[in-house]
Structure 1
Amino acid sequence: MGILSSLYTGVSGMAAQGEALGVISDNIANANTTGFKASRAEFQDIISKNLKGILGGNQVGRGVKIGAVNPILTQGNVDATEKVTDLAVSGDGYFKVRGSDGDSFTRDGSFHFDREGYLVTNDNQRVQGFQADEKGNILNKMADIKFPRALIPAKGTAEIKMDLNLDSRMEPTKKFDVKDPYSTSHYSTGVEMYDSQGNKHLLSLFFNKTADRQWEYKGLVDGKEVTGGEEGSLAEVCAGKLEFTVDGKLDSQEMTEANFNFKGGALQNQQVKLNFGDAIKAGGKGLDGTKQYGKNSDLIGWNQDGAAAGTITSLSFNDEGNLTAVYSNGQATDLAQIALAKFENPEALFKVGNNRLKESRDSGGPSMGAPGSSGRGKLFAKSLERSTVDLATEFVNMIQNQRGFQANAKTITTTDELLNEVIQLKR
């Protein structure tokens, strides 16, 4: 009977509008949830029967149902914060986290380090990223992001690079004397180096011009710091020769003596290379490094690759997702890089609560990569992505669904009046 079917049609409308109000309520409730994406209820009609079979038209509807509740994956506002471990994704991509229930994904970048040093979410899921090797190079190796709390080992100096100018106007008249090095050398300077135990030593270098375009150098340290040395005197640990071209470029360099034997249990006969530049005879062009020009001798720049033992003093992320540690010995190195997951159909990801989603059959598998690569979003450090819920829009949708619910309720009361008239026919 048509009157009875209208009752069920009205009930379906009330049920669907009620479910839609539930979606709106969930959106409003999560208006301040970090990384939350607003959802939308999408309706589908229900067909009861076709009056003329497959001829088309003349179809009787039986109401409405919720066909899908899909997230609207628009970009939320990215707000700056002052917390080092806050991260936000601008564009496609999800953070990958791992816990007792396996792998899941999130847009909520409000992370922190737990007491074991792991980078975790607020529900203690460990954030995944690409690991770095001992030199700070990022590898394609996925694991939990963690910073080491232990003392990092010392590293003995293996190479000292120097960029000097040695005055070509000097006359080769001085003969070097280790007992009076400053008066018997044409130029002197000092650089720092480390032994295998991480102890710092001042290496004083003294240069003497021996002929046109030819120089000799001696490297001295405090005698009390080397094996067999005497306190209050300087001990020679290295010596070498430099040759230049007629236009002042470095032609060749040679270390003729090396005796880096420091006390305190350090490695004896430590191998240290003094690199004065790209010498021409070694295949270089003589453009970088030490020169011989007609101006005062000077140390322009230098660096060395050794370091003392140290502990982490600070951690920070950059916009490439690299976690960088700064140590008490002045060194800085990359520990890991945040990995982002990209899905072919992110709307089909399965919500599991706590701002996390899981892979589903329809979403496809995650494609992992670095931020900004292959269509993945850009990462912002010290930032969070806010919810995409627009309260004004949600209140308008609430009014529409409320009126839809009331209208469907009205069809039921109208049908009830009609049924009452049918009952009255007997009288």
Structure 2
Amino acid sequence: MGLTDALFTGTSGLRALGHGMSVIGDNVSNLNTTAFKGARITFSDIMAQSINTAAGSGQLGRGAGIQALYQQFTQGAFESTANPTDMAIAGAGFFMVKNPQTTGGIYYTRDGQFVVDKDGYLVNPQGLRVQGWKIDETTNDITGALTDIRIDRSSPPVKTTKIDMITNLDAREETRTKIVNVRGTINTSDTNPDSYDFVIRDIDGQDVKLRITLGYDSAKGTWTYTIEDITDITNPNVLSQNTIGTTSTQATITLSTTQEQVIIDWSAVTQDNANPTSLNIGEKSTKRIETVDPSVTSWADTFTYASGDTWYWKDIDIKDANGNQQTIRLFIKQSASGSTWDYYVFQNPTSTTLTDTANTPEDDPVNGTLLAKGTNYDISKNGPVNFFLNGTTEKLNWDWDSNRINTDGSNDYSYELYEDGNDDSSYSLYEVVDMPTLFNSWNATNDTPLQSTAYTYRSTLFVYDSLGTPHEITVYYNPTTRDNVWEFLVTCNPSEDQRDFLRDDNPMQWYDPATDSRIEIVSGKTFTQTKKGVLMYGRLEFDNQGNVKKFYDTYRIDPNTGDLVQVIDVNGVPLASPKDKYNALGSNGYPLMIADFLGIDFPYDDRAPNSNDQGQAKNDVQQIELNFGYYYKDTWRSESVRTTQYATSNATLFYDQNGFGPGALESISVDNEGRITGIYSNGRVIPLWMVGLANFNAPEKLQRVGGNLFKETTHSGPPVTGKPGTNGLGTIAPNSIEQSNVDLGEQFVKMIIFQRGFQADARIITVSDSMLEELINLKR
């Protein structure tokens, strides 16, 4: 019947408008709810009923019902806060939070009120953990999968791998002068000029053998001279010469190895035809021994030990730095290959009668103190054998290579000094001049390892080992004998230097598995102890505009043996394979030095550093790049901030290093890309996490679960995750929260409309009721 239909029709309207009023009430009640998204309700008519009319069939509505109810994801306004972990999303997207008590319980929210809980997790007010990606500190990009964001409360120590030391070195500093004074008396009536051979030793221990030939014209009062490099005796190289005559008594030469300039001065040479004396340079010590090898000229003495090996041996008297005579005993024999040698060097033997019951020279007690030994040694490739006088840093070189000495035994190419009285031309002794360098001047056994007179400027900074302990690093600078060339020495506190060679009883040992050659300098411990704390030595060459042209002739200390290892040659080219088996340059193109403050053991001292036995030790030592503002990439290239040589005071313009000690979290910051950065008490600013965002194709179809949270539904589609600001996702507004997007005025207008509609629907019911009452009254 139509009247009862009217009652139900009115009731449907009351029901629908009542739900509408509930929606408005929910919107208004959440006006101050963070990131609340207001809902919108829409209505539709209920399926109509067909009735007959005079005009034919017609449709009669059955009332109103709810057509749709969904959230409005319009942007809410931002409210600034003082909490650094408060975040708002500017644009599309949702934060992802996870319930730690369940597996896979991911919820989505626009509410960015986050705090760090007691366990370091970034959580929302319900304790759900915010999801994000870990940031790689090196690449500054995300790594791994989405996971719970957990802020590290402490910053672990980071060992230093790069030092930046930008200085200005005063161009007004005078270059250092090295003068070699030649002395003696020459016979001017002799038509043959007087010659004298001596040696200048460069920084890496290489001997540059020189010959000076002098003539004097008494009538003219002029000198003729020739100064030759006879290091390769078969191919002498004239360094300076005047065959016409000059009144000057000086000549400047440049060493072929290190390019250092040296002044040869013979002003002290006198003329006395009646009492001529040999030329000399006034050095007390003998530091170079040359012998003719037994394959060319047999030595006077041979001996076969019980093992069956026949050794050539020779005693040679030399003078040490104090002018005292020492006896050096040399043993040598060819190896089985015929091209290499086995050798021994002893000091002060007790008898010239060898013990036939000994197996090797080392086992024979009469040979004295062992200084050095080697097997399968190739002198043509490796250069002279080095050793030290026992208990001193006085280094001697023993050479028997035919390219460097006269092999026929004559005195045409060698001058014999301090002869033992026998006309034994199978060996020659040379005085040696050591170049004064920062490296040679450093002596860690002194209270002050480097005297202030040895350098012009110094600068100090702190670096950190892997445990976070700070260590002082000092860089010394001094001009050299060449214009626009400075030398530098990098050192640490000797008491903190824990490299393996400093703790070994016999540090200087080498082994080459390819040739089975072994070298051992037993006498090297005193020398290595004096170089404790030295990390790198080298030279910087500047151009005329005060900019560095190149590093060159640069060395570091082998952490296993204590040997000086060249990493950049005299032309400024980094070596492809330095002898210590570490790279010459670091990953950034800067020279690489090796430090050890923790005492890393190389377990087998006589093995090469790159063998399997030492692989871990090799990686554990601290490799530090030295940045003066210049790096190598095919050639030396300058950076915008770099070391200079200008005519102003020596000064450190900038210094820094990339290591840190341990630190505690002091504060957190977030940027608009969602990158969470920790600021720690040790000065580190570390990018830690990136907040992940998600979006849906139909976010209106998400299911509300309370607490400002949504869940994925079939109708919303799966989430699409990504970094903020990518793939249509919004950016992050830090120190902000999003407010509700409810428009209060709009809600009041709708409230009035719903109220009037409700009143009208109620009148439908009351009127229909009255009509039914009239109908019932008809029966009465």
Question: Which has the greater radius of gyration?
Answer: 2
Superposition map of 1:174-193 within 5 A: 176=438, 177-178=441-442, 179-193=449-463
RMSD of aligned residue pairs (Cα, Å): 2.8
Amino acid at match of 1:157: T
SS at match of 1:308: coil
**CA separation in 2, counterparts of 1:253 and 1:148?**
41
Q: CA deviation at 1:359?
A: 1.1
Superposition map of 1:94-113 within 5 A: 94-99=94-99, 100=102, 102-113=105-116
SS at match of 2:48: strand
- Whether 2:465 is the aligned partner of 1:195: answer yes
SS at match of 2:22: helix
Task: Report the CA distance shift for 1:153/1:280 in structure 2 as closer, same or farther (over 3 A).
Answer: closer
**Comparing 279-288 and 34-43, the one that deviates more:** 279-288
Q: CA deviation at 1:306?
A: 1.6
Q: Is the 8 A contact 2:674 2:731 kept in 1?
A: no
Q: CA deviation at 1:185?
A: 1.7
> 1:153 pairs with 153, 156, 166, which one?
156
**Comparing 10-19 and 152-161, the one that deviates more:** 152-161
SS at match of 1:285: strand
SS at match of 1:291: coil
- Whether 2:11 is the aligned partner of 1:11: answer yes
Structure 2 residue aligned with 1:272: 624
**CA separation in 2, counterparts of 1:52 and 1:302?**
98
**CA separation in 2, counterparts of 1:388 and 1:56?**
50
Superposition map of 1:201-216 within 5 A: 201-210=471-480, 211-216=482-487
**CA separation in 2, counterparts of 1:242 and 1:269?**
26
Q: CA deviation at 1:45?
A: 0.8
Task: Report the CA distance shift for 1:304/1:365 in structure 2 as closer, same or farther (over 3 A).
Answer: same
Q: CA deviation at 1:139?
A: 2.2
Task: Report the CA distance shift for 1:57/1:82 in structure 2 as closer, same or farther (over 3 A).
Answer: farther
Deviations 1:172-230 (CA, angstroms, capped at 9, x unpaired): 1275444454333222211221223322122111111211232210123333322469x
**CA separation in 2, counterparts of 1:158 and 1:261?**
10
Structure 1 residue aligned with 2:494: 223
Superposition map of 1:33-44 within 5 A: 33-44=33-44
Superposition map of 1:273-352 within 5 A: 273-279=625-631, 282-288=634-640, 289-352=642-705
Higher relative contact order (CA 8 A, sep 6+): 1
- Whether 2:127 is the aligned partner of 1:130: answer no
SS at match of 2:764: helix
SS at match of 2:24: helix
Amino acid at match of 2:473: L
Q: CA deviation at 1:266?
A: 6.7
Relative to the length of structure 1, the TM-score reads: 0.90
**CA separation in 2, counterparts of 1:16 and 1:91?**
33
Q: CA deviation at 1:416?
A: 1.2
**Comparing 175-184 and 103-112, the one that deviates more:** 175-184
Q: Is the 8 A contact 1:241 1:256 kept in 2?
A: no
Question: What is the count of residue pairs matched by the alignment?
Answer: 424
- Whether 2:257 is the aligned partner of 1:257: answer no
Structure 1 residue aligned with 2:61: 61
Amino acid at match of 1:257: R
Structure 2 residue aligned with 1:411: 764
Q: CA deviation at 1:293?
A: 3.3
Q: CA deviation at 1:313?
A: 2.5
Task: Report the CA distance shift for 1:351/1:280 in structure 2 as closer, same or farther (over 3 A).
Answer: closer
Q: CA deviation at 1:264?
A: 5.6
**CA separation in 1, counterparts of 2:18 and 2:159?**
71
**CA separation in 1, counterparts of 2:660 and 2:599?**
17
SS at match of 2:549: strand
**CA separation in 1, counterparts of 2:463 and 2:41?**
68
Task: Report the CA distance shift for 1:266/1:56 in structure 2 as closer, same or farther (over 3 A).
Answer: farther
Q: Is the 8 A contact 1:213 1:245 kept in 2?
A: yes
**Comparing 323-332 and 288-297, the one that deviates more:** 288-297
**Comparing 113-122 and 234-243, the one that deviates more:** 234-243
Q: Is the 8 A contact 1:37 1:389 kept in 2?
A: yes
**CA separation in 2, counterparts of 1:9 and 1:322?**
57
- Whether 2:461 is the aligned partner of 1:162: answer no
Structure 1 residue aligned with 2:240: none
**CA separation in 1, counterparts of 2:471 and 2:634?**
29
Task: Report the CA distance shift for 1:161/1:290 in structure 2 as closer, same or farther (over 3 A).
Answer: same
Q: CA deviation at 1:52?
A: 7.7
Structure 1 residue aligned with 2:25: 25
Which consecutive residues of structure 2, in runs of 5 or more, have no partner in the other structure? 178-435, 443-448, 504-530, 560-593, 602-619
Structure 2 residue aligned with 1:121: 124
Q: CA deviation at 1:161?
A: 2.3
Structure 1 residue aligned with 2:776: 423
Q: CA deviation at 1:390?
A: 2.5
Q: CA deviation at 1:15?
A: 0.5
Q: Is the 8 A contact 2:95 2:108 kept in 1?
A: yes
Determine what percentage of the aligned residue pairs are the same residue: 37
Q: Is the 8 A contact 2:465 2:597 kept in 1?
A: no
**CA separation in 2, counterparts of 1:270 and 1:374?**
43
- Whether 2:709 is the aligned partner of 1:356: answer yes
Q: CA deviation at 1:239?
A: 1.4
SS at match of 2:477: strand
**Comparing 391-400 and 322-331, the one that deviates more:** 391-400
Q: CA deviation at 1:279?
A: 4.5
Amino acid at match of 1:96: M
Deviations 1:31-75 (CA, angstroms, capped at 9, x unpaired): 11111011111000113224589x999421111001111222221
Amino acid at match of 1:245: D
> 1:388 pairs with 737, 741, 760, which one?
741
Q: Is the 8 A contact 2:40 2:72 kept in 1?
A: yes
**Comparing 64-73 and 318-327, the one that deviates more:** 318-327
**CA separation in 2, counterparts of 1:191 and 1:213?**
25
Q: Is the 8 A contact 2:135 2:142 kept in 1?
A: yes
**Comparing 294-303 and 233-242, the one that deviates more:** 233-242
Deviations 1:287-321 (CA, angstroms, capped at 9, x unpaired): 44223333333322222122212232322222221
Amino acid at match of 1:241: R
**CA separation in 2, counterparts of 1:364 and 1:284?**
57
Deviations 1:339-386 (CA, angstroms, capped at 9, x unpaired): 111112111111011110011122122111122222222211111111
Amino acid at match of 1:41: I
